Amino acid sequence: MKKAVVEGIVLSLMLGLLLLSTPAHAISDFYAAEVQLSGNMKLQWYYNETSESYELNVTKSFLAMVPTDISEGEYNASFEGYADVEQNTIEFYGIVQTENGEFKVDFEVANEWPQIPSGKCIATGQVHLTIQKSELPSIQYTWVHVAGRVTSYGLNSSLGWLTAHARLSETENITRAHVCWTPYFLSSKPLQNQANFTFTFYAATLINTTAVQLNYNSYDLYITGLWTVINVTFNYYGEDFEQYEEYKSINIQNATGELKVYSGWQDFTVSISGFNDVGGKVVFSRISSLRVSECDVNYDGHVNIEDLVHVAKRIGSTPGCVMGSFDLSNFTEFASVDFNFDFKIDIYDLVSVATEIEA
Amino acid sequence: MSIKKMGTCTFVLLILISTIITYEETLSANGSITYVYVQPHEQTINVLGENFTVNINVKYALDLYGYEFKLYYNSTILKGINVTEGPFLKQKGQTFFYIVAFNDNYNSTHGILWIDSCLIGDTFGADGDGTLATITFKSLKQGYSLISLDSVELVDSRKNPIQNQVIDGTVTIIPEFTTTFQIITLFITAATLCIIHLFYRKQKKRT
């Protein structure tokens, strides 16, 4: 009996110690708040062993996500971060540290100091904060992610890819859509003894969305707006085609066009004025009330180290050449990791994933 | 030493001094640009088969979240041995360090090191100066190699490019003579001098 009591006490003590050692900030939640900030900010540029600095008095109200550890009220805080100085505005972004914790802020003030050099610099300051819970209306978002493989251009067979992301709500719709296609059918691999392999494709980007709708008429997804289309040519050469030259030229700007997904999210068509219809098969589609990230490249619902490694392994890839394998039929694999649509996988695509990984 | 030889030596010295001054001035000229440079800028290795290191450093970085670079070296005189991540990004949190390529066979004369690295998560980048990566090479034979940086991309926490300027480095392999080699050379020189001396003495006796 005594032994059981002693064991119980020891276990309770161990559990207590474990709970005490867990950092409080690891379990903190956030609330939306209106933050009023006022105080002196010091902007510093470094030149070799010397530095140049400017002190500004800043007052600004903005919205921020504040940890629940920091309740509503007034605080003295320190700011550490950066200032991006432009001709008319100065944007501050960084972290404010109060006695109860810290949180990220991002706000912009009018540039009333013409003597300050433009560019990005270190910003620090001692500020006074007034934090008040914000009565933000709860907005219901719907996230849509579609990826597809182009199979036809007009009556011709074609190779290419489609990626589309949309965030839909009652108040605003945010859409990104890209489609690339070859104007005629190409052999997916170069012929034997071919010295170089050149191909051209069209690359269209939705630049201004007019309407986005789910279940519109007979379409599962319907997006209409203005598109810019460019011609892209890749010329691969050298042993194993490991070297390439790339040429881009604008074909048309602000052309009206629409993306339609139909047949139960099986098929899609992109119709842009001045071009034949681009048709294809949907290879992935997802609709969710939770955020769908395009950086979730293995489609497991999370952005994590696996997605980062997936992109890292494809660094150096270009359309037609993924991980050293030269094959135009792997267009869709390439497109799934080219987040900035610049036709090469590099540090920008890697950073796109890395910034989305939750600590 | 003749006047001609002295002049040549002075000229070489002046070139060396001006190179060092230009390098220092380049690094201190403009604070608004971030520099990525090879350190040491010039290095001389005196022993064949010896491992030595080269750092890839950054100076005046601001919110550096990720970077990419390619580095080319003369693989006929250097062999790439190892590469390790430097401490600069790590000071801000967890990092991802990926070696895309590291081999001595980029082509018949050059090797390549290609690295992509970044922080992980919603955090700000690193500021200031520091080491991004450390590379270990092995000296293979006498010669000279440029340690040449290419395709350097720096990215901030908002995925914006950071303007940068690159400064390459050099490695010279000049093996020192071994003790055995020095003794043999000394012996041959002494023997030659003796022969010459004996030859002249014989000639003198004849006359």
What are the pLDDT digits (tens) for B165-200? 999 999 999 876 656 666 777 888 888 888 888 888
- Do A298 and A319 reside in the same domain of the chain? yes
Cβ–Cβ of B114/A316 closer than 8 Å? yes
**CA–CA separation, A233 vs A196, rounded Å?**
13
Same domain, A311 and A208: yes
Give A70's pLDDT tier (boundaries 50, 70, 90): very high
- Residue numbers in A near B30 (CB within 8 A): 47
Pick from A65, A99, A133: which residue ends a domain? A133
How many helices and strands, by DSSP H and E, does chain A display?
A: 4, 16
- Domain match, A178 and A92 both: no
Q: Is residue A288 part of a domain?
A: yes
Buried b / exposed e over A250-262, threshold 16 CB at 10 Å, is ebbeebebbbbbb
Taking residues A317-340, report their average pLDDT: 86
Question: Considering only alpha carbons, which residue of chain A is nearest residue B125?
Answer: A81
What is the β-pairing status of strands B34-39 and B164-167? parallel
**Residues A158 and A185 reside in one and the same domain:** yes
* Residue range A336-354: mean pLDDT, rounded: 94
CB contact under 8 Å between A46 and B60, yes or no, is yes
Q: Are residues A117 and A158 in the same domain?
A: no
Domain ends where: A98, A133, A168?
Answer: A133
Average pLDDT, chain B: 85
- CA dist list (Å): B14 to B8, B21, B168: 10, 10, 21
What ipTM describes this predicted complex? 0.81
User: Do A323 and A177 fall within a single domain?
Assistant: yes
Provide the residue range defining the domain that includes A91. Answer: 28-133
Q: Do A358 and B100 touch (CB under 8 A)?
A: no
Q: Are B26 and B154 in contact (CB under 8 A)?
A: no
Has residue B108 got a pLDDT over 80? yes
Interchain CB contacts (distance < 8 Å): A and B: 92
Q: How far apart are CA A185 and CA A160, in angstroms?
A: 10
Residues A278 and A157 occupy one common structural domain: yes
Q: Do A35 and A62 form a contact (C-beta atoms < 8 A)?
A: yes
Rg (Cα) of chain B, in Å, rounded? Answer: 24
Q: A282 and A186: one domain?
A: yes
Last residue of a domain, one of A65, A98, A133: A133
Residue A12 — very low, low, confident or very high, per pLDDT cuts 50/70/90? very low
Give the per-residue pLDDT at B149: 97
The answer on pLDDT for B16 being more than 80 is: no
Is B152:B66 a contact under the CB 8 Å cutoff?
no
A184 and A315 belong to one structural domain:
yes
Note whether residue A189 is domain-resident.
yes
Are A119 and A174 contained in the same domain?
A: no
- CA distance readout (Å), B158 to B7, B62, B88, B121, B122: 55, 12, 19, 12, 10
d(CA B179, CA B99) in angstroms, rounded, equals: 41
Residue A219 neighbours by CB under 8 Å, 6+ apart: A213, A260, A261, A262
Query: Which residues, in sequence order, are bridge partners of residue B147?
Result: B169
For the residues A303-331, what does the mean pLDDT come to?
88
pLDDT at A37 over 70: yes
Number of domains into which chain A is organized: 2
Structure tokens at A352: 């796109």
pLDDT of residue A181: 94
Test B123 with A347 for CB contact under 8 angstroms: no
Residues A161, A204: Cα–Cα separation, whole Å: 11
Residue A15 lies in a domain: no
At residue B30 the predicted structure's pLDDT band, cuts being 50, 70 and 90, is: very low
Task: Between A34 and B5, name the one with better pLDDT.
Answer: A34
User: What confidence category does residue A140 fall into, taking pLDDT thresholds of 50, 70 and 90?
Assistant: confident
The average pLDDT across A198-215 equals 93
> Using alpha carbons only, what angle is made at residue B104 by residues B102 and B106, rounded to the nearest 5 degrees?
85
Lowest mean pLDDT among A148-152, A290-294, A310-314: A290-294
Whole-model pTM: value is 0.80
What integer is the mean pLDDT of B63-73?
97
Q: Within this chain, do residues A114 and A155 fall inside the same structural domain, yes or no? A: no
What would the mean pLDDT of A176-196 be, rounded to a whole number?
A: 80
